[in-house]
Amino acid sequence: MQLEKNPLGPHFQVLSQTHNSLARRGRIHTPHGVIQTPAFMSVGTAGTVKGMTPADLKDLGAEIILSNAYHLYLRPGHLFIEKRGGLHNFMAWDRPILTDSGGYQVFSLNALSKITEEGVDFQSHIDGSRHFISPEKAIGIEAALGADIIMAFDECLEYPATYPRAEDSLNRTLRWAARSMSAHHRKDQFLYGIIQGGCYPDLRERGIEGLLPLGFDGFALGGLSVGEPQEEMLKVLDQVVPLIPIDKPRYLMGVGTPSDLVEAVSRGVDLFDCVLPTRHARTGILFTSRGELHIKNARYKEDDLPLDPNCQCYTCSHFSRAYLRHLFISKELLAMRLNTLHNLYYYLSLMSGLRKSIEQDSLDQFRQHFYDDRATGI
């Protein structure tokens, strides 16, 4: 399929689609540059992608990173960062940034959070101090941080949840979405709404329909990858993605495994973020075309092969599994660095492979190769 020069709007362009799926190649335009989609966002929770310099991230080809409003609000503070010229300037990253609103974190990191119609009262996971975040406050924090794309404040539903619980939560999320939009004033930030509704199709449908009139620049699927089987997540995608206007970016929050990415891209998702590549790197779990490899395993002790013989990353071009295992066992800093470089390279290459296969309308073959390689084993 030819790339189409068909800008559908100022923020997002669809360039091409496959003939037999909802997968599409696109471009997201932001004040700090363009993001080729489908794209994976590396997670930089506290204003740094753990262990990576901005130069490393650029070398890896990262076009956008995600940072967490919740964490930056608590430390060093959003107004503190605003005074330093905003998050881009503070962390010396001049490409696009997306901030989440903290909705997920106030629940997942706080057993003692208390929710009211007004917002959420929670305890800092750092020093135990009490804080309150409302939709208005979340948007204010995100405005101060100055990311290119910001997220509405939502209630992130636990899994599993009963229908009444899911419905109640969805209604609150919709009211908060309207308040988020009303509080949104920075014209240089794009605001995305978050579709909730759990695993209940009718609630998900109301989740998107309730957001549509509010004028969001993009739509995220929230409350997934919270413990449900992949099959259930894909069922939600199959149902909800077609309900999202074709000219808006579709962002699947907090997802996922390599297979999740392949399946979700095939179902028309444009944007992802996940801590897996960076977090797994630090615990010695490395992604390869043939599956995951636990570097501390004794079988790699005298293994002189690179992590992934098919990988072109700095780590695989220079170091053996035996060396990486030595670093990991010795708790050397460089272990985390080289592992993170590799895992992010794996994720970003997977996305670039997916993008290319959509351009060439060969996504089915790409998917087949992806699963065949993994089936071979390491």
| Residues noted as catalytic | 100, 273
Residue 109 to residue 78: CA distance in whole angstroms: 19
| Residue nearer to a second copy on the CB measure, 80 or 371 | 80
| Residue nearer to a second copy on the CB measure, 14 or 97 | 97
- CB 157, min distance to a second copy, A: 29
| Residue nearer to a second copy on the CB measure, 48 or 110 | 48
Which has the closest alpha carbon to 122: 145, 146, 138, 98? Answer: 138
Residue 199 to residue 233: CA distance in whole angstroms: 8
Tokens of 40: 């994976």
Burial of 371 (0-12, 13-18, 19+ CB in 10 A): exposed
- CB 270, min distance to a second copy, A: 28
Which has the closest alpha carbon to 337: 59, 70, 89? Answer: 59
Residue 357 to residue 285: CA distance in whole angstroms: 27
| Residue nearer to a second copy on the CB measure, 38 or 54 | 54
Residue 22 to residue 25: CA distance in whole angstroms: 10
| Residue nearer to a second copy on the CB measure, 39 or 338 | 338
| Residue nearer to a second copy on the CB measure, 307 or 363 | 307
- CB 23, min distance to a second copy, A: 35
Residue 164 preceded by cis peptide, ω within 30? no
Residue 224 to residue 156: CA distance in whole angstroms: 9
Which has the closest alpha carbon to 197: 231, 218, 226? Answer: 226
Q: Which residues bind a second copy (CB under 8 A)?
A: 46-48, 50-55, 75-76, 80, 83-84, 90-92, 302, 304, 314, 318-320, 322-323, 326-327, 329-330, 332-334, 336-338
114-151: burial string, b at 16+ Cβ within 10 Å, e else: eeeeebbbbbeeeeeeebebbbbbbbbbbbbbbbbbbb
- CB 336, min distance to a second copy, A: 6
The conformational region for residue 32 under phi > 0 = left, psi -120 to 50 = alpha, else beta, is: alpha
- CB 322, min distance to a second copy, A: 6
- CB 92, min distance to a second copy, A: 4
CA distances from 229 to 132, 163, 196, 232, 290 (A): 33, 18, 17, 5, 22
| Residue nearer to a second copy on the CB measure, 200 or 323 | 323
Q: Are 131 and 124 spatial neighbours (Cβ–Cβ below 8 Å)?
A: yes
Residue 119 preceded by cis peptide, ω within 30? no
- CB 94, min distance to a second copy, A: 10
Calculate the CA dihedral of residues 109, 112, 115, 120 and round it to 10 degrees: -50
Taking the mean position of all CA atoms in its chain, how far away is CA 158?
A: 18
